[in-house]
Amino acid sequence: MPKISIDRRALLLSCGGAVIAAPVAAAFTITPPHRDTEPSSDLLGLIKMHERTYEAFGKAIQEKDDTGHGHDKAGRAEEEALLAVCAYSAISEGDRRTKARYLLTIAARGELDLPEQMQALLHSAIPTDCPTLPPLRRL
């Protein structure tokens, strides 16, 4: 088998067409469609609802209720509101970023730890027309 030797000059001459063609091709490429960078009002509404229920839960904890019913009720309302944010199917770029940032702040506080929340979050990432998707169940 003959030994092939290519020096730097031969390599530059052989790929010179690619060096010229790449910028020319880039000039004629179609720009990608504008991504919706603003979050939807639906997602913002769910986030605001969670913020309100989280605040109410904090107030219920601070109040000295002997029965604990107010504390439990506020805790369930907060969990349901957070579950709704987790289950929201973010389609646009703005929704995905907003949902991710919000849930990362919740996770940083150590409050995104329930199996139902993780299940809802994973289900929200799968298209709704997926035929093999198991139903969302309450754990």
Query: DSSP string spanning 101-130?
Result: HHHHHHHHTT----HHHHHHHHHHTS-TT-
In a domain, 27, yes or no: no
In a domain, 131, yes or no: no
From first to last of its 139 residues, what are the pLDDT tens digits of the chain?
A: 566 666 655 545 555 555 555 555 555 555 555 567 899 999 999 999 999 999 999 999 888 666 667 788 999 999 999 999 999 999 899 999 999 999 999 999 999 999 999 999 999 988 776 666 566 666 5
Number of domains in the chain: 1
Quote the CA–CA distance of 84 and 117 in Å, as a whole number: 9
In a domain, 33, yes or no: no
Q: Model pTM?
A: 0.67
In a domain, 45, yes or no: yes
In a domain, 20, yes or no: no
Q: Could you tell me the sign of the dihedral formed by the alpha carbons of 107, 112, 115, 117, in that order?
A: negative
Question: DSSP code of 68?
Answer: -
Question: DSSP code of 92?
Answer: S
In a domain, 8, yes or no: no
Q: What is the pLDDT of residues 21-35, one digit of tens each?
A: 555 555 555 555 556
In a domain, 134, yes or no: no
